[in-house]
A and B are shown apart, each in its own frame.
Chain A
Amino acid sequence: MPPKGWVEINELYCKACETCVIDCPTQTLALDMSRLSPKGYHPAFMLHPENCTACGTCAVVCPDAAITVYRGVRPGSKTEGEGA
């Protein structure tokens, strides 16, 4: 079953406070320790994109409004079921 949605995290705004990572009810998000954002933080990213339910909790708690939440099938994703 494809995931119900996905999130996009704007790395210009993300300050790696980890609030979204801790509050995500499906453990979808994590901090990317292999990369630095232009601001010098390890930005949050979708470690398990297959878990995302597009509940929006991460965006509600994000102090920097860095997260955009989409509900639906991500265009171009491999798990996309129907032919476009």
Chain B
Amino acid sequence: MVETDVKIVYKRPAGFTDRVTHYCPGCTHGVAHRLIAEVLEEMGELNNTIGVAPVGCAVFAYNYFNFDFVEAAHGRAPAMATGIKRTLPSKTLFTYQGDGDLASMGMGEIVAAAARGEQITVIFINNTNYGMTGGQMAPTTLPGQKTSSSPLGRDVETQGYPIRTAELLATLDGASFVARRSLHDARSIRMAKRALRTAFEVQKHGLGFSMVELLSICPTNWGLNTEDSRKWLAEHMLPYYPVGDFKVSTAVSEMKIGGN
């Protein structure tokens, strides 16, 4: 048989259940889920991880990962993760939050958790609107962007400016690793995976709070197809939300990571 020559380059990660996600076609929530599952699998942490699901599109995230998950109240995932991590310090804890959950309802929680330097990893999905409830304006909505609750475009005179969460949290002394990545093409996705690996390694090494913001598309609420959504992200979101590492503490920069 020639099957000995065949190598599997990629397969569905072991951290996934066989459920079909409820996300819209093309939504990069699925990509972010997959990257988390791949990173935890590579680190051998699948049996040692507890995730905290948010309120938002990812509210059913616990159905798609086959490790332990809890569901937090709106915006309160960092508080819940703090409690679990302090009770079970050997576990790997992460929260998975959208921009409505983290940057709006839970802004106080996330700032406090980062300031305390909690040993948790936060995955923050930024798609510039409240996806689950029908695309209303979020704190991350870009100036002039039309949403269902800002039909004439976000007017910064009355509705203020978007919040750059990664830069904001990077100013806190408790945060050890804060980065922003995008999910709009293959190269960006590979870079996002490396950032997630670093973030989880920071926690494994006990170096403090880590957060990765992932720029994501929302084809349904933006009213664009998948391809145009990814172009829109590259054209409009990347200039306002530049990708990069905004906080890398000295201890993190000296950390050794396998394969990175």
Interface, chain A (partner B; CB < 8 A): 5, 10, 12-13, 15-19, 22-23, 39, 41, 54, 56-57, 59-75, 80, 82, 84
* Interface members, chain B 28-42 (any A CB < 8 Å): 28-31, 34
Interfacial chain A residues near B190, Cβ < 8 Å: 60
Q: Are B7 and A72 in contact (CB under 8 A)?
A: yes
Chain B residues within 8 Å of chain A by Cβ, number:
34
Interfacial chain B residues near A54, Cβ < 8 Å: 9
Set A19, A65, A80: member contacting B2, Cβ < 8 A: A80
- Least CB distance, B72 to chain A, in whole angstroms: 24
Query: 7 A-B pairs, CB-CB below 8 angstroms?
Result: A13-B12, A17-B25, A17-B27, A18-B225, A22-B226, A22-B227, A68-B12
Interfacial chain A residues near B29, Cβ < 8 Å: 63
- Least CB distance, A57 to chain B, in whole angstroms: 5
Q: Are B12 and A71 in contact (CB under 8 A)?
A: no
> Which of B13-21, B47-55, B86-94, B166-174 is the interface stretch?
B13-21
Cα separation A73 to B12 with both chains bound (whole Å): 21
Q: B254 on the interface (CB 8 Å rule)? A: no
Cα separation A83 to B11 with both chains bound (whole Å): 28
Q: Are B6 and A67 in contact (CB under 8 A)?
A: no
Q: Are B10 and A75 in contact (CB under 8 A)?
A: no
Known: A61-B185, A70-B8. A15 touches B26 (CB 8 A): yes
Q: Are B30 and A67 in contact (CB under 8 A)?
A: no
Interfacial chain B residues near A39, Cβ < 8 Å: 20
Cα separation A66 to B19 with both chains bound (whole Å): 11
Set B6, B24, B31: member contacting A70, Cβ < 8 A: B6
- Least CB distance, A75 to chain B, in whole angstroms: 5
- Among A10, A12, A15, A69, residue most surrounded by chain B Cβ atoms (within 10 Å): A15
Cα separation A65 to B189 with both chains bound (whole Å): 13
Cα separation A54 to B23 with both chains bound (whole Å): 27
Which 8 A-B residue pairs are closest in the complex by CB-CB distance?
A63-B30, A17-B26, A72-B6, A15-B25, A17-B25, A59-B10, A69-B9, A69-B10
Interfacial chain B residues near A59, Cβ < 8 Å: 9-10
Q: Are A69 and B5 in contact (CB under 8 A)?
A: no
Interfacial chain B residues near A13, Cβ < 8 Å: 12, 20
Q: Are B16 and A65 in contact (CB under 8 A)?
A: yes
Cα separation A63 to B24 with both chains bound (whole Å): 10
- Least CB distance, A52 to chain B, in whole angstroms: 11
Set A17, A66, A72: member contacting B5, Cβ < 8 A: A72
Q: Are B30 and A64 in contact (CB under 8 A)?
A: yes
Q: Are A18 and B26 in contact (CB under 8 A)?
A: yes
Q: Are B9 and A64 in contact (CB under 8 A)?
A: no
- Least CB distance, A71 to chain B, in whole angstroms: 5
Q: Are A41 and B6 in contact (CB under 8 A)?
A: no
Known: A17-B226, A19-B26, A39-B20. A60 touches B186 (CB 8 A): yes
